[in-house]
Structure 1
Amino acid sequence: MRKLVPVATCTTATPGLGLHCSSYSRRGVRMTATAEFNIHTIDTGFGGVQFDAAYLVVQAQRAALIDCGTSLSVPQMLAAVQAAGLSPAQVEWLILTHVHLDHAGGAGALLRHLPHAQVLVHPRGAPHLVDPTRLIAGATAVYGEADMARNYGIIEPVPAERVVAADEGHAVMLGERVLRIIETPGHARHHLCVWDARSRSWFTGDTFGLSYRQLDSARGAFILPTSSPVQFEPEAMLQSIARLMDAAPQAMYLTHYGRVTSPEPLAQALDEQIHAMTDIALGCAQRPDRHRCMVAALTALYLERARQHGCRLDDAAVERLLATDIELNAQGLGCWLDRAARTG
């Protein structure tokens, strides 16, 4: 069973970055099979099996990693490189969708094993890779030192000379293969997504929601948005999703979890749920039990969506699977309400 997180306040995050407040027990790990277009899906092991993915893109004996999990994920990342028939010296890029710890916490530790790799990150995230003091302090304030060590390991700095700050339009070349960067705020203001024209796919980080294989049905993948603390901005997220869809993608590579196809109905489902979630938040805003109200309403929303999707799990199993995400989404919606109240 996944471990529920402590309730985060909107003041514990790193300023300007937000905090992905996920504190899961680390379980068994594995690397999944090679997918199409020389894109390898790596199970980082964070959160259990098939919860947290990173990706290895290979072209002309050159490689880029997209996200990397935590410092405890370094063995899995290196094993994926080896399984692809490459040496660590052939990895040229580590591209980070954003610097939340389940995506980028292992960057410093991994870079020690990749002698030629540079790290590409949004300009707002770059300083926090070089000096992760604020990231560590913010996460430790939520989880405590023991949980930090158990779930994230040691967060090492990245040498400044190996960091490339990249924003809208930046491109990475792997031989003739182009990986193009766009800015996709909504989950975090420093969030990037990566377009691979060869596969006509996006690497979406947390922008295109969460999709767990246990909830797949004959209709395909089940998806839900993530509004986790503290920078959830629904309008920006909707605009970012629309930008992704403007490219007419054939697939999306999600951090949580894996490759999903037929993105059009998934984008529609995300749009509907983001509007429903903000309606829930506004409906609970004046309640003295605001957080509990949102948790109950989000639970009802996702259970109904799962039933409509034809998920094989019963309601109790779906609720257990999504318990942490429901908690985090309620926290993030609370932060959104508080921010709106402060700014008028």
Structure 2
Amino acid sequence: MTHDVTVHPLVSPWGRFGLSSFFVDAPEPAIVDTGIASSPAEGMAPALEAIGRRIEDVRWILLTHGHIDHVGGAHALWELTGRRAQVVIHEADAPMLRSRRSHVEEYRAGRGRYLRDAEGEAGVAAAAHAVISGEMEPSLLVRGGETLSLGGDVTVSVHAIPGHTPGSVAYVLDGQRSVFVGDAVQVHGAANGFPGYTDPAGYRGSLRYLRDEIRPRRLYLGHPYRRADGTPYGVELDEAQAREALAQSLAAEHRVAEAACACLDAGLGETDSPYSPFTPVADALGYTGDPALEPSPFFTSLHGYRAQHHQTVQYRSFAP
């Protein structure tokens, strides 16, 4: 059983968001998520030195999912450990660690269909080259259900929690139920003010799984996500805050789902609105944020509902 393993948040600034990684002070130390290319040298190394730890001693790099602000520093961090750390990611998100191009492909397949910005794809490609420190093959692919030993009696269990991305995972420090979820608990969104996920049904199921099965005592978030009133949580939540964040995440998803389904049932229509063809969703939710600000969670999520709705219609068409 794992007891009293200390976790240190490591925060790096980037754009509108703070990037949060976490140092797990185990016999074989781990860092959960890696920020962008500059994060390991400019943020992590000095922060670890300040608490008497060395980045060279990190032996596990645990990636919650494949987005650039979580895997961007992975290669650089791996290099700083003398290439001795094991790099872990879910197999579904592994292409985003192996290839910068996969981030452009994700954009084109999802939100890029709706954004009226001719430079959008070029911007994603430029960002991938600027903030991903290197393409690399992971040391260990996971699916969920694995247990990793961080030395001594410290173990981490891996849980698949798809929704935000297909390969989102939770890492749980066994025995103390400290849970690292990256961006899999969106509440009401971060600075963009809208929750972002590619698979609404998967996201909803993962939130329920976290709430009912894992029941975090400590919940570690990738960004300071916001309550309904707009006030942000920190990135380190206690048990009561974790319950509240999960409940608010489910409530927010329910509101978005109702608006999205009503819009899709009525039929999509092009308008002059920047929210087109999902203008009724923004109106119903009172959403006034900029839908073009990357990573554009508005269109990411709404495209997910559209794909889900299409599958439902197809099923009804072929059902006996």
TM-score range, shorter chain: 0.7 to 0.9
Distance in 1 between residues matched to 2:252 and 2:295, nearest whole Å: 13
Alignment of 1:263-342 (within 5 A): 263-285=242-264, 286-288=267-269, 289=271, 290-299=277-286, 328-341=297-310
Contact 2:179/2:220 (CA < 8 Å) preserved in 1?
Answer: yes
Shift of 1:341: 1.8
Contact 2:186/2:249 (CA < 8 Å) preserved in 1?
Answer: yes
Alignment match, 1:185: 162
Contact 1:295/1:326 (CA < 8 Å) preserved in 2?
Answer: no
Alignment of 1:219-234 (within 5 A): 226-228=195-197, 231-233=198-200
1:154–1:185 CA distance, 2 compared to 1 (3 A) = closer
Q: Does 1:64 align with 2:30?
A: yes
| TM-score, with length taken from structure 2 | 0.74
SS of residue matched to 1:333: helix
Alignment match, 2:179: 202
1:78–1:96 CA distance, 2 compared to 1 (3 A) = same
Matched residue type, 1:178 = T
Q: Which moved more, 1:109-118 or 1:122-131?
A: 122-131
Matched residue type, 1:332 = S
Alignment match, 1:134: 102
Alignment match, 1:98: 65
Alignment match, 2:229: none
Q: Which runs of 5+ in 2 are unaligned?
A: 113-118, 225-234, 272-276, 315-320
Q: Which runs of 5+ in 1 are unaligned?
A: 1-35, 215-223, 301-318
Distance in 1 between residues matched to 2:29 and 2:292, nearest whole Å: 36
Shift of 1:154: 4.7
Contact 1:56/1:64 (CA < 8 Å) preserved in 2?
Answer: yes
The correspondence for 2:207, drawn from 241, 250, 272, is 241
The correspondence for 1:174, drawn from 145, 150, 155, is 150
SS of residue matched to 1:112: helix
Contact 1:139/1:148 (CA < 8 Å) preserved in 2?
Answer: no
Distance in 2 between residues matched to 1:248 and 1:77, nearest whole Å: 29
Shift of 1:204: 0.9
Shift of 1:138: 4.9
Distance in 2 between residues matched to 1:129 and 1:333, nearest whole Å: 25
1:299–1:47 CA distance, 2 compared to 1 (3 A) = farther
1:298–1:55 CA distance, 2 compared to 1 (3 A) = farther
Matched residue type, 2:164 = H
Shift of 1:37: 4.4
Matched residue type, 1:192 = V
The correspondence for 2:15, drawn from 43, 47, 51, is 47
Distance in 1 between residues matched to 2:259 and 2:295, nearest whole Å: 13
Alignment match, 1:165: 141
SS of residue matched to 1:76: helix
Shift of 1:78: 2.3
SS of residue matched to 2:13: coil
Q: Does 1:124 align with 2:92?
A: yes
- Corresponding pairs, count: 276
Matched residue type, 1:91 = V
Contact 2:62/2:88 (CA < 8 Å) preserved in 1?
Answer: yes
**Identity between Structure 1 and Structure 2 (%):** 21
Distance in 2 between residues matched to 1:195 and 1:202, nearest whole Å: 5
1:159–1:201 CA distance, 2 compared to 1 (3 A) = same
Shift of 1:211: 7.0
Alignment match, 1:24: none
Q: Does 1:80 align with 2:67?
A: no
Distance in 2 between residues matched to 1:196 and 1:322, nearest whole Å: 36
Shift of 1:271: 1.7
Shift of 1:280: 0.6
1:274–1:138 CA distance, 2 compared to 1 (3 A) = closer
Matched residue type, 2:180 = F
Shift of 1:121: 0.4
Distance in 1 between residues matched to 2:88 and 2:311, nearest whole Å: 34
SS of residue matched to 1:44: strand
Contact 2:22/2:33 (CA < 8 Å) preserved in 1?
Answer: yes
Distance in 2 between residues matched to 1:99 and 1:326, nearest whole Å: 13
